[in-house]
Amino acid sequence: MSERKPQTRAVRIQTKRTDEKEHSTPLFLTSSFTYDSAADMAAAFADDSLDVNIYTRFSNPTVDEFIEKIASLEGAEDGVATGTGMAAVFATFMTFLSKGDHIISASAVFGSTHTILTKYMPKWGIEYSYFNMSNPGQITDLIRPNTKMLYVETPSNPGLDIIDIEALSAICKKIISCW
């Protein structure tokens, strides 16, 4: 990573220009991509280590640039982009939680997040507990040996409740050091 200031990093990241010589990033509004031959297409579909676009749900230059810019701004190695916030929430839960796990969530969450926690997670054997965002000290009392995640939305939707992320981080670091 260069020594450029973080606020300019994302401006300087840009998908390679096409033969049209556009000034700004082109939008690749396509569901699929073409290949020079059927053999090239078969190779692309058979080997996921090839750096080629197959289908927009897997990769797309527009989305790839967005991910690269956000990761650069956040100082992250990589990222994932989803079509909606709820897709991001669900993907996060399903990536890090398994049957038998427990999640602690702020009670002030978007209604669809609440539905995932209360209706779907129990079907998959994942337990949940809620804490009040105005009293983050409750978190410590809710921790179980199978607690794997702490989830908050700040500002919350729709109440716009705010929680101190730095204080939450301190609680999490304290918990992790005990394990």
Shared domain check, 59 and 135? no
Residue 155, preceding peptide bond in cis (omega within 30° of 0): yes
Separation in Å, CA 9 to CA 3, 58, 60, 69, 76? 9, 25, 21, 7, 12
Last residue of a domain, one of 74, 108, 129: 74
CATH for 111: 3.40.640.10
Could you report the per-residue pLDDT of 18-36, keeping only the tens digit for each?
777 777 788 888 888 989 9
How far is Cα of residue 124 from the mean position of the Cα atoms in its chain? 21
Q: Are 105 and 135 in a shared domain?
A: yes
Q: What is the largest CA-CA distance in the chain?
A: 61
Q: What mean pLDDT, rounded, does the chain reach? A: 86
Whether residue 95 sits in one domain with residue 69 = no
Q: What is the pLDDT of residue 17?
A: 77
Q: What phi, psi does 10 have (nearest 5°)?
A: -65, -30
Exposed e or buried b for every residue in 166-177, given b needs 16+ CB within 10 A? eebeebeeeeee
**Would 79 be classed as within a structural domain?**
no
Of 46, 74, 102, which closes a domain?
A: 74
Domain span at residue 166 reads: 85-178
pLDDT at 136 over 70: yes
Counted domains in the chain: 2
- pLDDT tens digits for range 37-80: 999 888 888 887 778 888 888 888 889 889 988 898 888 999 99
Over residues 153-171, the pLDDT tens digits come to: 988 888 888 988 888 888 8
